[in-house]
A and B are shown apart, each in its own frame.
Chain A
Amino acid sequence: MSAETKTPVKKERRSAGEVLKRMTRHQLFIPVAALVLLVLFNLIADPSFFAVSLKQNSLGNPVLSGNIISVLDNASELVLLAIGMTLVTASSGGQDISVGAAMAIAGSVIIRLVCGGQVSVDTMQTSLILAVLAGILVSMIFGAFNGVLVAYFKIQPMVATLILFTAGRSIAAWINNNQLPIVNDQVFKYAGTFIPGIPVPTPVFITIFVIVLFWLALRFTNLGLYTQSVGINANASRLNGLDPKMIKLLTYVILGACVAVAGFIRVSRSGSINYSRIAENIEMDAILAVALGGNALGGGKFNIYGSILGAYVIQFLTTTLYKYNVPSTALPAYKAVVIILLVVLSAPVVREKMSHIGKSSKRAKEVA
């Protein structure tokens, strides 16, 4: 190639690189901006929002309390779900809307085993570890059910998981014969509240543990590359030796495990279960966390940390709204407004327009 034609190519390279940089910068732009905005709002409105104090809880243990602690604590389930949901979204290009119902099932299984069929127990009837493992197993089986429908029957994820969404809470009720057992054993509540002597809520540790686990998995296995390849182009992945069906199924099973841990935390908080209310609407929050993290809901490339951040932002918002005495039933309306603002701001059309405005003002400045 002659020297003349080479120069424009080089120019093109540099600017393509710039565009790419800007894009990667943008991936986490929305969740970070939202977080900053929320923090600023709270700082201005009432700095005491961030106060953290050491108090004695009802059992006489020293525990940390404050809004920030409550955000970190209460976001735990959502973070776990968001992680699994990100993988499912990436591999299958759709979302699992049954996670709330599946949490009810997992919680129900754990409570059933712990209570051994009794209505109220003071000491656990089954080893907690065994019960939790059983919960995880059952949840993974339901995850596999969703995964088979999606991967092998090629049903769109949201429709396939509609089945479990519809039936899940009923199955949960059926497992406990529609009773509402209560576990009074304090050990059972450790996972959802505090371990005596440790002032930080246990769910925070569980969440950190799971996040580290996924960090390791993404670092030391090909989970990331495989799910993205399959999500972007299943045909090509197959011709490169991958088994797209298996990988899709795998992500649903992983989500199942995440769901079970989240379900365990949730029932452990109160030591009881309400089939129709437990983790109600959480699937919507989980999907929102994925979208907020800058992940395309159509699948493909993902950033799991974006989703995690997204989950915390959502919880931060919820806690902020509670603080200003917004009744819990009206909460969705406010959340909706925020969602719309966020997605409108991150919509490509709007971003393009905004960057045009930015550019022209910049140009104006340069001229001046």
Chain B
Amino acid sequence: MQEGAVLQLRGISKFFPGVKALQNVDFTLRAGEVHALMGENGAGKSTLIKCLTGVYPKDEGEIYMEGHEGPVTIRSPQDAQNIGISTVYQEITLCPNLTVAENMYIGRTKGSLTRWKQMNKGAGKILQELGIPASPGQQLSSCSIAVQQMVAIARAVDMECKVLILDEPTSSLDESEVAKLFKLMRDLKARGVGIIFVTHFLDQVYEISDRITVLRDGQLVGEYVIEDMPRVRLVSKMLGKELGDISDIKKASDKAADMSSVPVLETEQLASAAGIKPFDFSIHKGEVNGFTGLLGSGRSECVRAIFGADRVTGGTVKMNGESVKIRKPLDAMKCGVGYLPEDRKVDGIIGELSVRDNIILALQVMKGFFKPFSRAQAEAFADEYIKKLEIKTASSDTPINSLSGGNQQKCIVARWLLTDPVYLILDEPTRGIDVGTKTEIQKLVLQLAGEGKSVTFISSETDEMLNTCSRLIVMRDRKVVGELKGADLNQDMIMSTIAGGDNK
């Protein structure tokens, strides 16, 4: 055990059938530090954490904890809790049907009775301390996702843990919530808690972390002190290659679309049951534009309304100047609109179906129930796009859910490209996928625009939007509050438009 370390992993390996998910990985966490665990998707971050918390049994290696003689055995999340390792996962791992207070205490109280009063009192105190807008007796499912995430953190915080693992906790939080979380993390740090922080957001890493450990392809790349590690080097460590691609993109976006033509798609006072204020929107041939705004500002709801994914409650849509009725996704598809949804797992992939079926699905549906593609035809389509988009899959017969996130996303992109849309909506196509694929997708967007297609691109990362979009629609509180183009298209203007005030 090293001096000052609370947790030390030595030589951890984990094998899945056919895959070496982790190979001989070392990791050291010191008391009172925030330690970022970085790597592309599939690098082994999640596997490492799951081995540490007893979700998966590790195949090789040892885990040492401060205050424990010799290696500790962790067979279940409960074991991990008992020796002082608390975890908050990216997906909310609480029970939606229980109350907030129960979710904070269940599975870790002594005795066989539930003491409601005491529990609610304790929970109320913690919630207040952390400024979480929930009451102890409330059913968890009645809270927003962000609040649920914070409840999960509150639970972990209250467990007097020595090690706190935060596995992409910020992906569903907005900026003020992230700020709150960071304050919390600093408090805990001061108390001597070691924090393992997993995230895709580089900004956040540099804001809060003390040290970084980088994994790639299941192997340890290295451990670095944050000050010695500029961003570019970090990214190149994660990717395992030098960067040059990203600057290429910028040049491509300079090509402007012909804005004087009749818009490919135009909406007037469009509103949907998802609760957005009626909005006007238009996009021209060969244009790439985007919706930006904070989480929950209604940017996804806008594109969902255009695609007919939510019930449209008013307004008109024109395509190439002619009025069309879009009541359900199929109507939009027939008009040549494609939509890559925000949540890949929930709305995008058909998990157990093959890559092939997933790719041909949309085109097949448009063709009709009684006209299935022949196996050979479907095979040809799938192979074409697997090649074109460099989708890494064993075969087109492989179930899509056994692919990595980035490759799944490429399949969904392939699905829509196959329908040859005139207008493609990409809602967070780069979320939760590795940096390499992110770049590929951005390039693809620009390439499509070059071919004369119109694309709406939405991303939480403003950099990506600036790289690709020639026009940004800014949203706040489910309302369009501004439009930026040309010289206005920069980080500062976006920020100030989102924040509101005297800009408008």
A and B, direct touch (CB closer than 8 Å): yes
Say whether, besides A16-B18, A16-B394, A220-B370, A233 and B349 are in contact (CB < 8 Å).
yes
Instruction: Name which residue of chain A comes closest to B360, CB basis.
Output: A225
Cβ of A5 and Cβ of B217 under 8 Å apart? yes
A221 at interface by CB-CB < 8 Å = yes
- In the complex, A235→B217 CA distance in Å? 32
How far does the alpha carbon of A232 sit from the alpha carbon of B351 in the complex, in Å?
Answer: 7
CB distance from A96 to the nearest CB of B (A): 22
Q: Is the CB of A241 within 8 A of B398?
A: no
Q: Please name all residues of chain B whose beta carbon is closer than 8 Å to the beta carbon of A219 when the two chains form the complex.
A: 372
- B233 contacts partner chain A, Cβ-Cβ < 8 Å: no
| A237 contacts across to B, CB distance below 8 A | 350
- Does chain A have a CB within 8 A of B208? no
Of B86-94, B140-148, B262-270, B339-347, the stretch lying at the interface with chain A is B339-347
If over half of B's interface residues share one DSSP class (helix, strand or loop), that class is named, otherwise mixed; here it is loop
Measured between beta carbons, the chain A residues less than 8 angstroms from B353 are 225, 228-229, 232, 301
Nearest residue (CB) in A for B362 is: A240
Contact B394 A8 (CB under 8 A): no
| Neighbour of B361 across the interface among A1, A14, A16, A240, CB < 8 A | A240
Please indicate the chain A residues that have their CB under 8 angstroms from the CB of B17 in the complex.
15-16, 19
User: Taking the complex as formed, is A300 at the interface, i.e. its CB lies under 8 A from any CB of chain B?
Assistant: yes
Give chain A residues whose Cβ lies under 8 Å from the Cβ of B398: 16-17, 20
Interface 0/1 of A13-53, CB less than 8 Å to B:
11111111000000000000000000000000000000000
Contact present for A221 and B370 (CB under 8 Å): yes
Question: B124 in the interface, Cβ–Cβ < 8 Å?
Answer: no
**Which B residues are in CB contact (< 8 Å) with A2?**
240-241
- Contact yes or no, B347 A12, CB < 8 A: no
Query: Given the complex of chains A and B, what is the CA–CA distance between A8 and B20 in angstroms?
Result: 9
Say yes or no: A19 contacts B18, CB within 8 Å. yes
Q: Which of A234-268 contact B (CB under 8 A)?
A: 235-243
Q: In terms of DSSP, what is the predominant structure of the interface of chain A?
A: helix
Q: Is the CB of B372 within 8 A of A221?
A: yes
**Residue numbers in A under 8 Å from B350 (CB-CB):** 228-229, 232-233, 236-237
Determine which of B309, B333, B397 lies in contact with A20 in the assembled complex, contact meaning CB atoms within 8 Å.
B397
B139 sits at the interface (CB 8 A): no
B347 touches A236 (CB 8 A): yes
Q: Which of the residues B20, B329, B346 comes within 8 Å of A241, measured between beta carbons?
A: B329
Known contacts A17-B394, A233-B349; decide if A242 and B19 are in contact (CB<8 Å).
no
Interface presence of B392 (CB below 8 A): yes
Minimum C-beta distance from B162 to chain A (A): 34
CB distance from A232 to the nearest CB of B (A): 5
Which residues of A are found within 8 Å of B481, using beta-carbon distances? none
A236–B362 Cα distance when bound, in Å, is 10
Interchain CB contact under 8 A, B347 and A232: no
Residue interface bits A123-160, CB-to-B below 8 A is 1, else 0: 00000000000000000000000000000000000000
A226 at the interface (CB under 8 A from B): yes
A17 to B397 alpha-carbon distance, docked (Å): 9
Taking a contact as CB atoms under 8 Å apart, the answer to whether B309 and A239 are in contact is: yes
Report how far A237 CA is from B365 CA in the complex, Å. Answer: 10
Interface residue B402 (Cβ < 8 Å from any Cβ of A): yes
| Contact A17–B329 (Cβ < 8 Å) | no
Known contacts: A236-B347, A236-B350, A300-B352. The answer to whether A11 contacts B369 by CB under 8 A is no
**Which residues 418-459 of B have a CB within 8 angstroms of A?**
none
Bound CA span A1–B330, Å:
39
Contacts known (A222-B364, A241-B365); A17 close to B395, Cβ less than 8 A: yes
Chain B 311-342 near chain A by CB (<8 Å), digits 1 or 0: 00000000000000000111001000001010
Interface membership of A3, Cβ < 8 A: no
Q: Given contacts A19-B17, A233-B349, is CB(A13)–CB(B394) below 8 Å?
A: yes
**Complex: A236 Cα to B358 Cα, angstroms:** 10
A340 CB-CB contact with B under 8 Å: no
Interface centre among B362, B372, B395 (most CB of A within 10 A): B372
Task: Give Cα A11 to B350, complex, Å.
Answer: 26
Query: Is A349 part of the binding interface, using a Cβ–Cβ cutoff of 8 Å?
Result: no
Interface assignment of A367: CB less than 8 Å from any CB of chain B: no
Q: Give 14 pairs: A residue, B residue, CB < 8 Å, sorted on A.
A: A1-B241, A5-B217, A5-B240, A13-B395, A15-B17, A17-B395, A220-B370, A225-B353, A225-B357, A229-B353, A233-B347, A233-B349, A239-B341, A240-B362
When A and B form their complex, which 7 residue pairs have the shortest distance between CB atoms, in order from nearest? A15-B18, A241-B330, A241-B365, A13-B394, A16-B394, A240-B362, A232-B350
Q: Contacts A13-B394, A20-B394, A241-B366 known; list 6 others, CB within 8 Å.
A: A1-B241, A16-B394, A16-B402, A222-B371, A232-B353, A237-B350
